[in-house]
Structure 1
Amino acid sequence: MYDVSLSSTAARELVWQKSRRSNPSGNCVEMAQLPTGDIAVRNSRYPQGPVLVYTREEIEAFVGGAKDGDFDHLIA
């Protein structure tokens, strides 16, 4: 993972996607694929804020762990 400073223009040009589970108050993260294949992640409430970038492998590991319940204790 690394922090990247995308210009607001560059960030607007990405196709950001929120989870279908996002709640009406906007408490969600958004993700977008970069041209390099890496995945950008940002707070949906602060679209001009910082963007974290993960490799595809890091996102695959996180999503797999979430599906397996590895992080359930954080929200229980």
Structure 2
Amino acid sequence: MTDFSEQHIAWRKSSYSTDGGNCVEVAPLANGRIAMRDSKDPSGPMLVFDSEAFSKFTAAIKDGSLLH
């Protein structure tokens, strides 16, 4: 169960996203949490990270360690 209302989430697509269809959107939530979803499926599931986990996740994407 989540403690936020989806209708009040301000989603943002990365400026690095292109029209290739592989885009995610992120949104700030209460208590420093960050939500992430597939931009092609806005009514689909979302991931919710605390700020530390989101920082580690994005660092792993940048350094390529998620590919191993």
Assess same fold via TM > 0.5: yes
Percent identical pairs in the alignment equals 38
Number of positions where the alignment pairs a residue of Structure 1 with one of Structure 2: 68
Corresponding position: 1:70 with 2:65: yes
Alignment partner for residue 44 of structure 2, among 39, 42, 49?
Answer: 49
TM-score between the two structures when normalised by the length of structure 1: 0.68
Structure 1, gaps ≥5 residues long: none
Higher relative contact order (CA 8 A, sep 6+): 1
Q: Distance in 1 between matches of 2:20 and 2:60?
A: 26
Q: Which aligned segments of 4 or more residues in structure 1 are displaced greater than 4 angstroms?
A: 4-7
The alpha carbon displacement at 1:32 in A equals: 0.6
**Superposition RMSD in Å:** 2.4
Structure 2, gaps ≥5 residues long: none
